[in-house]
């Protein structure tokens, strides 16, 4: 089974700084794998280990994703090779632009049975790229998948909905978006990190994969952290009528303040 896992690169949350004005500063934030995509990488690695085949990682974004430490981090988690489409025109792209870029990259890679995505990205969390990618490729696309099993040229997946667990059998090739509950992503050891440095990685520009007219459709005016609100901590002891009335009075006061 040949699997392509799509990865979004985002600023490392631990390095994001909030300025005095509330604006977010990404200057010190190194590029990192989106948290939700770690589950997609792990799902692909487990399938290849169980059934054989290859696991290929694909990422698109601005030039900043072409970073050696990041590439080694991706390859140490199971993929045998990595492709990146790094281009100024893909920086801060919307979901459709991202899906288009991934589609062109997948077409250039070729030879795949299954495409895996995370349920969303750690920055925008739009949950649209997997569905749009399936539509562009003309493949069945299923999201919210919490379990995958391979069966005679198909995959059997489970989706946990509000009041039921849905089991679907999908012909391959297909695009599957997995949830964060599907597995616990592995932490690479020293051996895997050293081996990652020997694995091939290829970086393309937008033109290399035939992408044109990728004009930005969204302009970010500002990005600010939400205002922090001090929590009130008032304790009412006892179960007398007076205590209950005091508790209800506190609730009424909070509601009036809002």
pLDDT along the chain (258 residues), means of 10: 95 80 78 93 96 96 92 95 93 89 96 94 86 96 94 91 91 95 92 93 94 74 74 77 84 77
The Cα 61–Cα 247 span in angstroms is 52
For the chain, give percent helix, strand, coil, nearest 5: 35, 30, 40
- In DSSP terms, 203 is beta-bridged to 84
Query: Cβ distance 178 to 39 under 8 Å?
Result: yes
- In DSSP terms, 186 is beta-bridged to none
Tokens for 253? Answer: 């006061």
How far, rounded to the nearest angstrom, does the alpha carbon of residue 220 sit from its chain's CA centroid?
20
Write down the pLDDT at residue 229. 67
158: CB partners within 8 A, 6+ apart: 145, 146, 147, 165, 166, 167, 168
Show the CA angle centred on residue 60, arms to residues 23 and 8, nearest 5°: 60
Using one digit for the tens of pLDDT, what is the confidence trace for 99-144?
Answer: 999 999 999 999 999 999 999 888 878 889 999 999 999 999 999 9
The Cα 141–Cα 188 span in angstroms is 30
142 phi, psi to nearest 5 deg? -130, 135
H or E stretch covering 73: helix 68-75
The Cα 56–Cα 79 span in angstroms is 5
Write down the pLDDT at residue 216. 66
The Cα 30–Cα 38 span in angstroms is 17
Mapped onto helix, strand or coil, the DSSP state of residue 68 is helix
CATH H superfamily, domain 2-209: HUPs (3.40.50.620)
Model-level pTM? Answer: 0.83
Tokens for 230? Answer: 């001090």
Write down the pLDDT at residue 30. 85
Using one digit for the tens of pLDDT, what is the confidence trace for 169-193?
Answer: 999 999 999 999 999 999 999 999 9
Q: Which of 181, 186, 151 is nearest to 55 (CA)?
A: 186
Write down the pLDDT at residue 14. 80
Query: Cβ distance 169 to 176 under 8 Å?
Result: no
């Amino acid at each position: 089974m040949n699997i392509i896992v799509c990865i979004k690169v985002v600023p490392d949350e631990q390095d994001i700084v909030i300025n005095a004005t509330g604006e977010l500063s990404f200057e010190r934030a190194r590029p990192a794998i989106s948290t939700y995509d770690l589950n997609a990488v792990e799902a692909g690695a487990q399938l290849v280990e169980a059934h054989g085949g290859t696991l290929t990682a694909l990422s698109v974004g601005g030039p900043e994703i072409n970073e050696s430490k990041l590439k080694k981090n991706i390859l140490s988690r199971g993929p045998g090779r990595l492709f990146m489409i790094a281009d100024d025109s893909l920086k801060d792209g919307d979901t459709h632009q991202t899906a288009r870029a991934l589609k062109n990259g997948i077409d250039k890679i070729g030879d795949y049975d299954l495409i895996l995505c995370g349920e969303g990205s750690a920055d925008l969390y739009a949950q649209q790229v997997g569905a749009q990618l399936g539509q562009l490729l003309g493949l069945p696309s299923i999201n919210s998948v919490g379990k995958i099993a391979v069966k005679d040229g198909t995959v059997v997946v489970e989706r946990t909905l509000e009041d039921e667990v849905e089991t679907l059998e999908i012909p391959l090739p297909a695009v599957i978006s997995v949830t964060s509950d599907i597995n616990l992503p592995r932490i690479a050891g020293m051996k895997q990190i050293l081996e990652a440095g020997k694995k091939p990685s290829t970086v393309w520009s937008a033109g290399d994969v035939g992408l044109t007219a990728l004009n930005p459709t969204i302009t970010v005016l500002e990005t600010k952290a939400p205002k922090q609100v001090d929590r009130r901590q008032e304790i009412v002891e006892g179960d007398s009528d007076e205590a209950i009335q005091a508790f209800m009075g506190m609730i009424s006061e909070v509601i009036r303040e809002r």
